[in-house]
Structure 1
Amino acid sequence: MTLDGRVIYQVDPATFSGPGADAGLDGVRRRLEHVRAVGADTLWLQPFYVSPYRDAGYDIVDHHGVSQRFGTMADFDDLVERCHQLDLRVVVGLVVQHTSTDHPWFRSARDDPASPYRDFYVWAAEPHDDEVVKKPVFQGVEDSIWAYDDHAGRYYRHAFYRHQPDLDVGHPRIREAIAGIVRHWLDHGVDGFRVDAVPHMVRQAAVTDSRDDGFWFLSELADAADGAPLLGEVDEGPSTYPEYFGNGDRLTGILDFWTNNLLFLALARSSAEPLVRALRAQPTSPEGCTYLNWLRNHDELNLSLLSDSERDEVMAAFAPDETMRAFGRGIRRRLAPMLGDDVRRVAMAHAIVQSLPGVPIVRYGEEIGMGDDLSLPGREAVRTPMEWSKVEEQDLRPGSLLSRVSQLVHRRRGLGPLRPGHCDALSFGADAVLGLLHHRADGPVLMMINLSDDQVCLELEYDVRADLLADREYEPAGSGVVLGGYGYRWLRVR
């Protein structure tokens, strides 16, 4: 499976098909026609593994099994088979930076100092500063990266919640186990993996073997994947990205948090400058590798890559109330409420992601402008069930957000790959307009998005061959182009 030219649809099996009896893998299988109708050709399935489910399934007890709350292995196999019948590829989460404290490995490790699993985890006699994990990821919820275990009489490290002890991924037996997990799901028809918490694992691998600063771990993981793409969660700045790609022999795709952070700064300012800055700082990816872009993911909108003043701007615009914020650095709201439930503005934000070089991701519910539930604790506010009645209503209404997003996705896929390194971020003298000139084998495509509510008129230095897509009816493009408020327009040009 290659990532080039694909559009990914992200699904949580706990909430996508609906609440109660409809939830689970079989429910996802029965809703796949919607994924195809939106226009995506790849399904990213969030964790469905055996888990006590204290952290939406990211606290795993058995990496090889399917949780009873979601069905059986037969249900998973049926889902993959149906996806492939619909020409949908399947990506699943690879969550191996930590386990649940209920995992048999950890229970054995804590109960017996001589257990072969004792070395699977990171232990200490006393809490201390750690070179791998500087501070808790969930500050305000966890006040330390160390938790004391009465059975072991020692402290174990946890980058995330205290019920998620960190694995020593540099340990040879852990690496063998991870490779076995990858092979297991490949044998069940999976086409790729979304790899969780990649920087933490690279730093931990370097403790065992400092070669290549621990990035050898990703090369080894890619070997285990045997050509299946690895989509890595890399919550770092762009200067580090080349190491994660290697020579095309490590991660296949990087989830680009840098660009995502600056996208929301651009939305807050109604200015293209932050996105132009992001793209000009983005290293060219090796052949066969790419970046992944999205609007909202499955937890908080993490703004930690912005400066303090930039983060304050975005918070003031989209999370003015403290109850809308998370961990002192992020926002726990869905996209549509942040943008005032303005269909034009939400569609414009989708147009940005569909225009960026790389691979776009649509999270379930974003195509219909789903809201959040701030009465729920923490990140649960954005993990509410898919609103299928809203899908049915928008299906029947021309000009709905669903119809606009579907049009964007279908047209994007029809253009084929829009590769990083083959795109110029342009300034038109109109600060609100983002211009992206994609250089392609069959001729360049110019994509323009107006981040403001004001109409703008632009003078182009290109000969327009054809209008490909627009948010509304416009006069045929010539040397001058009009964009309405929150408008977007894609043109073939010379």
Structure 2
Amino acid sequence: MHEDWHRNAVIYQIDPSLFRDSNGDGRGDLRGVADRLDHLRALGANCIWLLPFYKSPFRDAGYDVSDHLSVDPRFGDIADFIHLMERAEELQLRVLIELVVQHTSVDHPWFQHARSHRDSPYRDWFLWSDEPVEVEGVEPIFPGIEDSIWTWDEQAGQYYRHVFYSHQPDLNVANPAVRAEIARIMAYWLRLGIAGFRVDAVPHMVEVARAADPRKDGLWILDDMRDVIARRNPDAVLMGETDVPVSKYDEYFGNGQRLNLLLDFWVNNHLFLALARGEGEPLARALTERKPPPPHSRFGVWLRNHDELDLEQLSPQEREEVMAAFAPDEDMRIYGRGIRRRLAPMLGGDDARIAMAHALMLSLPGVPILRYGEEIGMGDDLSLPERRSVRTPMQWSDTRNGGFSSADAGELVAPPISEGAFGYPARNVEAEMPQPDSLLGRTIAMVGCRLGIREMGCPYRLARFECRPVFGVRYDDEEGGSVVVALINLGGEPVEFALREDDLLELVDVLRDRDYPTPEGKPPRIALGPYGYRWMRRKQRE
């Protein structure tokens, strides 16, 4: 195994509770995931990211952990996890899991011990105060749901801090005993063969670490995690949820000695601004203002994830522009900063436009991440509260419950989308798989092509042309001398423009949404249809 395996990865994000129910109890489980890994191989993904499967009361989709070393019974047991790992190994799939150690559930034994007595050895594992105190720069993550980051605990006789929900007390990661336990948790799962962790809520852990010890601006907490990786499995990666200003990205990478993968909210936000305007400029500008990652590190790029589309990296005017385009109704918005919708309904259910968005994301420099269901254009259920609107069961077929579960409707962990243009009778894997022109068929072609284009892991720059609706990026393999250019039309009208790249006079398509004439002229003229895309390679000379 090579230490830079992640540089040419396509990651598929799975919520085990919503992917496949193997035993008919209405809830997805690890056996269900293992049974459907062949779908990921057909799609072309080579790494999976599992959302939490730890023991939890599941008041926040499993991010409220009550035991980091146990599989919640609803998902099976540790034997089922090992079976999943073995099946993934057979299919040459790597597995990333969540490391949720910024907070726990109030049900966690650590918190129960901590609240029992002020002299409890676990008391200092959490953050307490006799009175609520303001912490500079720290506000409730869920405004309108939580009014404060402090909640009074009658049993403890003090307030405890929580930047997320009040049932998720913040861990005091500045405490050496807490960090030792984090190291033990990491070592346990690394021994079971995982390829790394997606680290939840990284900036909030750094803030607590900084307050206790300002060296390295609190980022020493990531150095500690990297040390655990280095001792146990140097090839494993840390993928960080780091919704911070783009100017701070370098610090979180730490010259490649902290995070291997940084989830890039900056580019994600500007990608949606570009989609809202139907113009490439916002995304091109975002890439220009973002420094390249250090050696052995990459950005994680995606369209939608399991949370709201958080637009905090945009200006207030830009944010409102995206909201107006994709969340015109107040019920589609959340927390005053984001959108609680899936990609397909945001783009009007237009498969050509959705496929264009996939091609756009997959053409970006970084590691692409697909969320389950995006490949078939799954929708959302705005009748469900908060972020649950985008957390509905995977749609495998047009049979009962979309093939997710054989349970009765009342037993399901969440209701499947059954009606309308996004219901499982209309959109499902079984119907789309044999059709190369379906959204799934087109996504499979894109992912396979993306993995086969080694140049997309090479240095890049923006392609040179003048056409407002189009985004273009060029990749140069300096050793092999090959060049690939990706061009995507974000607009709904056909375009033709001159590609002002003097050394790209002979280009051949490696991926395209439809047939196009061969580029001709000096400079070559490029045609793109409405929401069209072309990835082209410079013709090799004898």
- Tell me the TM-score range normalised by the shorter chain: over 0.9
Paired with 2:86 and 2:54, the residues of 1 have a C-alpha distance of 19
Paired with 2:507 and 2:324, the residues of 1 have a C-alpha distance of 42
Is 2:301 aligned against 1:293? yes
Choose which of 375, 380, 388 in structure 2 pairs with 1:372: 380
Is 2:264 aligned against 1:256? yes
Is 2:194 aligned against 1:190? yes
Is 2:362 aligned against 1:350? no
Q: How does 1:170-249 map to 2 (within 5 A)?
A: 170-226=174-230, 227=234, 228-249=236-257
Aligned to 1:387: 395
Aligned to 1:56: 61
Is 2:478 aligned against 1:446? no
Which letter does structure 1 place at the counterpart of 2:341?
R
Aligned to 2:528: 483
Paired with 1:193 and 1:229, the residues of 2 have a C-alpha distance of 6
Alignment RMSD (CA, Å): 1.2
Paired with 2:506 and 2:190, the residues of 1 have a C-alpha distance of 46
Is 2:477 aligned against 1:435? no
Paired with 2:466 and 2:384, the residues of 1 have a C-alpha distance of 44
Task: Tell me by how many angstroms 1:134 deviates.
Answer: 1.6
Which letter does structure 1 place at the counterpart of 2:386?
G
Query: In the superposition, relative to structure 1, how do residues 313 and 113 fare at CA in structure 2: closer, same or farther (>3 Å)?
Result: same
Q: How does 1:312-323 map to 2 (within 5 A)?
A: 312-323=320-331
Paired with 2:86 and 2:531, the residues of 1 have a C-alpha distance of 40
Q: Aligned residue pairs: how many?
A: 492
Aligned to 1:467: 509
Aligned to 2:50: 45
Task: Tell me by how many angstroms 1:272 deviates.
Answer: 0.6
* Cα offsets for 1:2-26 (capped at 9, x unmatched): 3101000000000011584562000
Which letter does structure 1 place at the counterpart of 2:451?
R
Task: Tell me by how many angstroms 1:439 deviates.
Answer: 1.5
TM-score (norm. length: structure 1) = 0.98
Secondary structure, aligned partner of 1:405: helix
* Cα offsets for 1:251-308 (capped at 9, x unmatched): 0110000000000000000011110111001112111001000000001111111111
Secondary structure, aligned partner of 2:39: helix
Paired with 1:23 and 1:134, the residues of 2 have a C-alpha distance of 35
Which letter does structure 2 place at the counterpart of 1:426?
A
* Cα offsets for 1:96-140 (capped at 9, x unmatched): 000000000000000111111100001111111113x52100001
CA contact (8 A) 1:4 1:416 kept: no
Secondary structure, aligned partner of 1:200: helix
CA contact (8 A) 2:375 2:439 kept: yes
Paired with 1:417 and 1:196, the residues of 2 have a C-alpha distance of 31
Which letter does structure 2 place at the counterpart of 1:279?
L
Secondary structure, aligned partner of 2:456: coil
Is 2:415 aligned against 1:415? no
5+ residue gaps, structure 1, are none
Choose which of 134, 142, 145 in structure 1 pairs with 2:138: 134
Paired with 1:379 and 1:407, the residues of 2 have a C-alpha distance of 31
Which letter does structure 2 place at the counterpart of 1:273?
E
CA contact (8 A) 2:362 2:446 kept: yes
Paired with 1:433 and 1:219, the residues of 2 have a C-alpha distance of 40
Aligned to 1:69: 74
Which letter does structure 2 place at the counterpart of 1:268?
A
Secondary structure, aligned partner of 1:388: coil
* Cα offsets for 1:166-185 (capped at 9, x unmatched): 01111100110000010000
Secondary structure, aligned partner of 2:380: coil
CA contact (8 A) 1:456 1:482 kept: yes
Paired with 2:253 and 2:121, the residues of 1 have a C-alpha distance of 33
Choose which of 10, 14, 37 in structure 2 pairs with 1:11: 14
CA contact (8 A) 1:469 1:489 kept: yes
CA contact (8 A) 1:47 1:93 kept: yes
Choose which of 313, 318, 321 in structure 2 pairs with 1:310: 318
CA contact (8 A) 1:290 1:419 kept: no
Secondary structure, aligned partner of 2:382: coil
Choose which of 396, 400, 405 in structure 1 pairs with 2:443: 405
Secondary structure, aligned partner of 1:190: coil
CA contact (8 A) 2:98 2:198 kept: yes
Paired with 2:512 and 2:71, the residues of 1 have a C-alpha distance of 43
Which letter does structure 1 place at the counterpart of 2:488?
I
Report percent identity of matched pairs.
Answer: 53
Secondary structure, aligned partner of 2:7: coil
Secondary structure, aligned partner of 2:19: coil
